[in-house]
Amino acid sequence: MRVQAYLRVVSDEATIRAIHNDAKIDGTTIRPPSIRRRTLGDTWWALETQMADLERGDEDRGIIELLKRCAPLVPCLKERTGTDIDVVLEIVTQYREHEGGPGIYLSREAITMLSELGGAMDHDIVPDQMFEG
């Protein structure tokens, strides 16, 4: 079983570029994802951290480390209150057929840090054949 996580911030292109320039978090990338916004022809842009490998059974520690690296986002997001911004902690669990169903525990510290970012969590559980390598 392999568990990884990254943080994604989505908004319009100008907002994402400004957040990326202001936060200056190593290893983040920005790109226009294929997700359409409510307005026809308008797309969400995304700022994404690098994928972090999490230790199975101690995912909370890795998530806390990831969120600590993302702390410079907090003031960038707070100064843009009222802007259409979505922050999501993305957790991806890759499993093999013989492995049992995974669970993820998040401590108060991790939840508080995610809350300070105004973030939500998405946990995708996918069979390993969906991944290369």
Average per-residue pLDDT in the chain? 88
Predicted confidence at residue 101, as pLDDT, reads: 64
CA dihedral sign, ordered 26, 30, 33, 35: positive
Task: Give tens-digit pLDDT for 81-97.
Answer: 877 899 999 999 988 87
What Å distances lie between residue 89 and 61, 93, 106, 113, 114, CA to CA?
14, 13, 12, 11, 8
What would the two tokens of residue 17 be?
A: 């570029």
Q: In the predicted model, what is the mean pLDDT of residues 7-35?
A: 90
Predicted confidence at residue 129, as pLDDT, reads: 67
What Å distances lie between residue 117 and 32, 41, 51, 63, CA to CA?
21, 28, 18, 13
* pLDDT classification of 36: cutoffs 50, 70, 90: low
Provide the whole-model pTM: 0.86
- Cα angle 50, 54, 59 (rounded to 5 degrees) comes to 125
What Å distances lie between residue 122 and 88, 92, 96, 101, CA to CA?
7, 8, 20, 16
Task: Give tens-digit pLDDT for 84-130.
Answer: 899 999 999 988 877 766 788 999 999 999 999 999 999 998 887 65
Delineate the domains of the chain, giving CATH numbers in brackets. 2-130 (3.30.70)
* pLDDT classification of 32: cutoffs 50, 70, 90: confident
Predicted confidence at residue 130, as pLDDT, reads: 55
What Å distances lie between residue 83 and 14, 19, 41, 78, 87, CA to CA?
11, 12, 19, 10, 12
Query: Radius of gyration of the chain from Cα atoms?
Result: 15
Q: Do 77 and 118 contact (CB within 8 A), yes or no?
A: yes
